[in-house]
């Protein structure tokens, strides 16, 4: 695939899946606008992408602030004069039990980052995608479909993101803009660690995956990136409103084996 002269905006590009997606586009000649709240992490991604001899703009932003979203998009258009592809990947691992006295605080934080930021970014960037006849990809989770204990905020936020994808796809199809969703299973990223989940739980969860994932392994971020590049390409020109699980077959077996590992 070749994204020569295509401008790609990736949120959550500092690590994990977002970083892998950014690097994947850089390997295919795209111009990049990379966004994250963590400058140290984002610098590593930017450096790796620039090594591929592509143009990159780095934007440090808190996407829960509407003014930062507007600044991000304005800065990208000012630099590249257009936006062709958007990947909403910013997110946290929002754990929380129904019985947790701080549940609503965790819920509000998770919804703000995992769901609202994608909606605000889409709302602000849609006119540019209409102009470029571009496309947008949301990174959701199989937790939008499956349910496990102690993950109320995350499950609800990802379910909302997947349904928002379909709503946006239906509206923007009138303008030739495609909107799709990727739902990863367990992936080797700093995602859970960065959210303060205990090392013991992470180790237990990864070991449990060896038993319940049909492919008997945790996925690599690059495998999610490969799907993102496909959906963003002309090869997927007939696909919109779709939700692709990249999960090693986990949807076939469910998450019940992990539900007893309480980590909140």
What positions carry a catalytic annotation?
154
Could you give the CA distance from residue 244 to residue 139 in angstroms, rounded to a whole number?
Answer: 10
Tell me if residue 246 falls in helix, strand or coil.
strand
Q: Is the distance from CB of 184 to CB of 246 less than 8 angstroms? A: yes
Residue 44 CB-half CA count within 13 A: 11
- Cβ pair 249, 214 in contact under 8 A: yes
| Cα end-to-end distance, the chain, whole Å | 41
DSSP single-letter state for residue 264: -
CA distances from residue 125 to 14, 70, 94 in whole angstroms, order as listed: 21, 9, 26
Distance CA 134, CA 63 (A): 21
Q: By CB neighbour count within 10 A (0-12 exposed, 13-18 middle, 19+ buried), where does 73 fall? A: buried
Q: Residue 151: phi, psi to the nearest 5?
A: -130, 35
Q: Using an 8 Å Cβ cutoff, are 22 and 90 in contact?
A: no
Enumerate the H helices of the chain as residue ranges. 16-26, 39-50, 66-80, 103-111, 117-132, 152-172, 191-194, 199-212, 221-232
């Amino acid at each position: 695939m070749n994204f020569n002269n295509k401008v790609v905006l990736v949120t959550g590009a500092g690590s994990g899946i977002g970083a892998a997606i950014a690097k994947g586009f850089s390997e295919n000649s795209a111009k990049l606008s990379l966004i994250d709240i963590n400058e140290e992490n984002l610098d590593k991604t930017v450096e790796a992408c620039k090594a591929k001899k592509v143009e990159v703009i780095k934007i440090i932003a808190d996407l829960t602030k509407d003014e930062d979203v507007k600044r991000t998009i304005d800065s990208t258009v000012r630099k590249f004069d257009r936006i062709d592809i958007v990947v909403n990947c910013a997110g946290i691992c929002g754990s929380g039990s129904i019985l947790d006295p701080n549940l609503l605080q965790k819920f509000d934080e998770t919804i703000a980052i995992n769901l609202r930021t994608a909606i605000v970014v889409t709302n602000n960037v849609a006119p540019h995608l209409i102009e470029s006849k571009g496309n947008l990809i949301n990174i959701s989770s199989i937790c939008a479909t499956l349910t496990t204990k102690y993950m109320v905020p995350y499950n609800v936020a990802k379910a909302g993101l997947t349904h928002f994808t379909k709503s946006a796809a239906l509206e923007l199809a009138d303008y030739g803009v495609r909107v799709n969703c990727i739902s990863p299973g367990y992936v080797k990223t700093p995602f859970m660690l960065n959210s303060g989940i205990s090392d013991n739980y992470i180790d237990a969860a990864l070991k449990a995956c060896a038993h319940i994932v049909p492919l008997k392994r945790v996925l690599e971020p690059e495998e999610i990136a490969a799907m993102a590049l496909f959906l963003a390409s002309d090869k997927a020109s007939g696909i919109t409103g779709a939700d692709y699980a990249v999960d090693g077959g986990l949807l076939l077996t469910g998450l019940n084996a992990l539900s007893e590992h309480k980590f909140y």
